[in-house]
Chain A
């Protein structure tokens, strides 16, 4: 009988209100095996990892370690079993040196009570780093290290805890080619030592160079577990799409777009966005697709002026919007007619504890009251007009926005920009957290806006939405636009192919 696998997760299920995050997912990892995990945003990868390290209790299913059933109720349980997770957000203490970070909470005791045996700690840290082939001064404080070096320290920390199973969440996302090679060497060393590795990646190439097996998740379901040699990039992409979303919405696409109203030429921004070219014409809904972290929201913030653009230009109706550094910022964008419907509606789009009327008029005060005198009657009239036009379901204009449904809240955000006279709308995940019926209504609203001559740029992680709603789409990866898909080429597979790395 063969030895039981290092880790076995059997029939794991987890539901959040309204979402089936994981449904009967099984996964096993052998000693010395790299098991890659791929899937779209929201496919269930993160939830599976959370279950594994005790941050989230599964509704059903069991976990076995070397054939023994175990209960992982907290991160401490996971650590005792030898599970270590290296998150994308690294968790080092910036002003402690490498050795202190590796042994945080487990320092070697020195001669005096409470004191630390620095010599032993540094020697042990050097030994661990040498195992990883890293030549770093263990006295360097963490904040001086690059991302790759910080990652090495995290790996050394995991090794010092005698981790037998290492989970790496997109470890190469912020690394250069050379650093990736080094990381792969380290992973090779770990494998030879018998450490099992679960490796999450959006770069499909890595599945083939690194993985011993690959598991594809989609909508919380396991689509397949297979050997890389048995499959291809195309097949993996096909398995990842087919995301179930109600796409009953059918729109009449725009055949004859008008003048370009928003033009970006080689835009670079402080938040990482680089070299973006993009055009949105009047009457168009243009999609902006990409995986989480591809830089879509950053681009939206840069266009809106919320983050500084370092090299530009952005043109709105032919007029340069953010030129010299002192002329940027949302004030100018709003005046130029740009409205941002942000992803986090409840914190960035609305003041939840204020009334529908207050929110609707928040950006329109200068337009409504050019002389700075507030007129309650004119305000009420303006609000009532918008509520009627947008069909916001609210008992009164004075209702607090926090009591509205997600769809109606979204309408209020849109209404805010309508009142301010916006002609270019940037929607960042406009349907997130909105039920199916209301989604169609939101799309209807966007379509009405562009039919009236406005332009819309829509960010969405739901590929079917982009395909169903947009006239064209741009695909982002690594903080830049990597491709444009015209209506005829706009399919889920094409988007995903561009959005993922595969060299």
Chain B
């Protein structure tokens, strides 16, 4: 993935075939297969649908890329999204506007992201353990706040926003695109981005360079929480309600998309465009299997296979 890192860091070189990561091949092959065998896959409506369905996952996969690059993990991101969605719905039910609701959802995300960051970066807890703990907290808070019921009656403002389009682009795709551009700028054009590479690759070198390593490390997790808050806006808008358990398991899809996209858990080796491709691959796979009427229980198997195949391709090519 090194070649691509260089391309993505601003090098203006033609893409060499050897540098194309496994995920790109998989995405093309899957798309061609579904275009042939799944009727309706290539219709404009269906393609837009894939984009819409992928946008929430993209919001989580972007910060997850930075988190994994820093040799970390955030298992709580799905549960935090769920809790933020419930809080957002509750604000709307009580007559608060969409702006206030979003602010509340972001506050929830910020709090949990800050907590994760402090546990991992400052207290030095293993990320797996720390975020497993916060996952449990967010999950049960969502259930307590709603009594385990869906929060309905959120009014028309949010659903209207969600179904709105701009130049024909659905709102959720627009949010996903903006988020991608923001993260791309952040990772490849700012100091913060350079420090993300350094935290995963050589934390000591960064510390000796006099950077406030802990602050940046915490910020990475805070971004995860904030993006969960934005994701809550889309999820609640799409479902027209707040569901306490609707986002369960999303962290695994996000991690899968990042890994499939070529980011590794070691040495700060990450590639943001790969995560975008990973998210799209997951979206295409789920959508195609739905069109082929494959039961959802089998779809989980296919995601597992996807992760393994993508890693296999990269490891075989890495050796060559």
Contacts and interface: CB of A to CB of B under 8 A. Distances in A.
B9 A97 contact: yes
B191 A95 contact: no
Interface centre among B2, B5, B209 (most CB of A within 10 A): B209
Contact of A118 (B10, B197, B198, B209): B10
A107 interface: yes
Given A118-B189, A141-B2, A143-B267, A95 B194 contact: no
A91 B210 contact: no
B201 interface: yes
A93 B196 CA distance: 10
Contacts of A105: 206, 209-211
A445 interface: no
B201 A93 contact: yes
Contacts of B211: 104-105
A110 interface: yes
Contacts of B270: 95
Contacts of A76: 210
B267 to A, nearest CB: 5
A96 B197 CA distance: 6
Query: Max chain B CB contacts within 10 Å: which of A92, A104, A107, A118?
Result: A104
A93 B194 CA distance: 10
B6 A104 contact: no
A139 interface: yes
B269 interface: yes
A91 B192 contact: no
Contact count band on B = 20 to 34
A143 B2 contact: yes
Given A75-B208, A104-B198, A104-B209, A95 B5 contact: yes
Interface string A432-475: 00000000000000000000000000000000000000000000
Contacts of B197: 93, 95-96, 100
B244 interface: no
A94 interface: yes
B295 interface: no
Contacts of A97: 6, 9
Contacts of A139: 6, 9-11
Interface string A110-134: 1010111010000000000000000
Contacts of B206: 93, 104-105
B268 interface: yes
What interface size band does chain A fall in?
20 to 34
B190 A91 contact: no
Contact of B267 (A95, A104, A114, A115): A95
Given A115-B190, A116-B194, A92 B202 contact: yes
Given A114-B191, A116-B191, A93 B205 contact: yes
A68 interface: no
A141 B19 CA distance: 14
A176 interface: no
Nearest to B12: A139
Interface string A45-79: 00000000000000000000000000000011001
Contacts of B191: 107, 114-116
Interface of B: 2, 5-6, 9-11, 185, 189-192, 194, 197-198, 200-202, 204-206, 208-211, 267-270
Interface of A: 75-76, 79, 91-97, 100, 104-107, 110, 112, 114-116, 118, 139-141, 143-144
30 contacts: A75-B208, A93-B197, A93-B206, A93-B268, A94-B201, A94-B202, A94-B267, A95-B2, A95-B200, A95-B267, A95-B270, A96-B9, A96-B268, A100-B194, A104-B205, A104-B209, A105-B211, A107-B191, A112-B189, A114-B190, A114-B192, A115-B189, A115-B190, A116-B189, A116-B191, A118-B189, A139-B10, A141-B5, A141-B9, A143-B269
Those 5 A-B pairs whose CB atoms lie nearest each other, nearest first: A105-B209, A93-B201, A139-B11, A114-B190, A93-B198
Given A94-B269, A95-B5, 7 more contacts: A94-B202, A110-B189, A115-B189, A139-B9, A140-B6, A141-B9, A144-B2
